Amino acid sequence: MFAGCSPAPMLKWIKADLHVHTVLSACADLDMSPREIINTAKLLGINLLAVTDHHAIDNVAACREAADGTGITVLFGMEVQTREEVHLVCLFPSEGSAVSFAALVDQHLPPSLLSGNTGEIQAVVTASDQVVRFEQRKLLASLDLSVEAVCCAVAGLQGLSIAAHVDRPQYSLLGNLGFIPPQLPVAALETSSAAAALHRKHPSTVGYPLLCSSDAHCLPMLCQEKYTYFFVAEDVNLSEISMALRGESGRKVCIKS
58: contact with Zn ion by CB under 5 A: no
Name 85's Cβ contacts closer than 8 Å, sequence gap at least 6.
142, 170, 171, 176
Which CB sits closer to Zn ion, 55 or 87? 87
Size of the site for Zn ion (CB under 5 A): 4
Interface residue with Zn ion, options 87, 138, 202, 251 (CB under 5 A): 87
Structure letter (DSSP) for residue 7: P
164: contact with Zn ion by CB under 5 A: yes
C-alpha 58/C-alpha 253 separation (Å) is 29
C-alpha 123/C-alpha 131 separation (Å) is 6
Which CB sits closer to Zn ion, 155 or 221? 221
Task: Give the shortest CB-50-to-Zn ion separation in angstroms.
Answer: 11
Which CB sits closer to Zn ion, 54 or 251? 54
Task: Give the shortest CB-56-to-Zn ion separation in angstroms.
Answer: 12
Task: Give the shortest CB-147-to-Zn ion separation in angstroms.
Answer: 13
202: contact with Zn ion by CB under 5 A: no
Contact 229, 257 (CB under 8 A): no
Among the candidate windows 3-11, 33-41, 158-166, 187-195, which touches Zn ion by CB under 5 A? Answer: 158-166
Task: Give the shortest CB-3-to-Zn ion separation in angstroms.
Answer: 48
Contact 237, 16 (CB under 8 A): no
Name 19's Cβ contacts closer than 8 Å, sequence gap at least 6.
50, 52, 77, 79, 89, 162, 164, 190, 213, 214, 215, 216
C-alpha 192/C-alpha 91 separation (Å) is 20
Task: Give the shortest CB-25-to-Zn ion separation in angstroms.
Answer: 7
Which CB sits closer to Zn ion, 79 or 240? 79
Which CB sits closer to Zn ion, 123 or 232? 123
Name residue 227's beta-bridge partners. Answer: 256
Tell me how far CA of residue 207 lies from CA of 14, 188, 232, 235, 247, in angstroms: 23, 9, 21, 28, 12
Nearest to 255 by CA among 43, 16, 41: 16
Which CB sits closer to Zn ion, 158 or 170? 170
Interface residue with Zn ion, options 53, 58, 190, 215 (CB under 5 A): 215
79: contact with Zn ion by CB under 5 A: yes
Which CB sits closer to Zn ion, 50 or 245? 50
Nearest to 136 by CA among 34, 31, 30, 56: 56
78: contact with Zn ion by CB under 5 A: no
Contact 244, 251 (CB under 8 A): yes
Task: Give the shortest CB-81-to-Zn ion separation in angstroms.
Answer: 7
Binding residues for Zn ion (CB under 5 A): 79, 87, 164, 215
